[in-house]
Amino acid sequence: MHQKPIEQLIEETINSFDGAKRAEVKPFLLTRIFARIQAEPATDNIWTKAGAFLSRPSVALAGILLIILVNVAIIVSNSNDNNNTVQQVSAAKDEFAINVISIYDTENLEP
């Protein structure tokens, strides 16, 4: 074999499948197929389908991302609301001249 030119060897290799027989599967395939069909969970149920859809990595990741975005949005909007509330309180305080007078201030009023 090691005396042939490479071209001939290549041609022989490409034709080496010629005359090949079909590979045969091991016996009792049918039994294994029926066992597998019986073991498969029912996929007709809507909840099974929904579960399968939600457990896809892309869907699960998109869901997690959405939850994170909603949380961030709520935190940002809450911090804006807090600023507004502080501003409103200080505006009301200024408008009605609400000042807390401590006991020391009262005492200091007396000459």
Partner 1 sequence: MDPTEIIARLKEGDGAVFTEVVERWQHMIYNTAVSIVQQEEDAEDITQDVFVTLYEKIKEFREESALSTWLYRITVRKALDHEKRKLRHKRGGFLQRIFSVNEYEEPVNFDHPGIVLDNKEQAAVLFKAIKKLPEKQRVAFTLHKMEGLSYQQIAEIMDTSLFATESLLVRSKNNLKKILQDYYQQNYKP
Contact residues for partner 1 (CB under 8 A)? 2-6, 9-10, 12-14, 16-26, 29-30, 32-33, 36-37, 40, 43
With contact defined as beta carbons under 8 Å apart, do 43 and 49 qualify? yes
> Least CB distance from residue 65 to partner 1, whole Å?
21
The CA radius of gyration of the chain, in Å to the nearest whole number, is 40
| Identity of the residue, 43 or 102, whose beta carbon is nearer to partner 1 in the bound complex | 43
With contact defined as beta carbons under 8 Å apart, do 58 and 64 qualify? no
Contacts of 4 (CB under 8 A, 6+ apart): 12
| Identity of the residue, 14 or 101, whose beta carbon is nearer to partner 1 in the bound complex | 14
| Identity of the residue, 17 or 47, whose beta carbon is nearer to partner 1 in the bound complex | 17
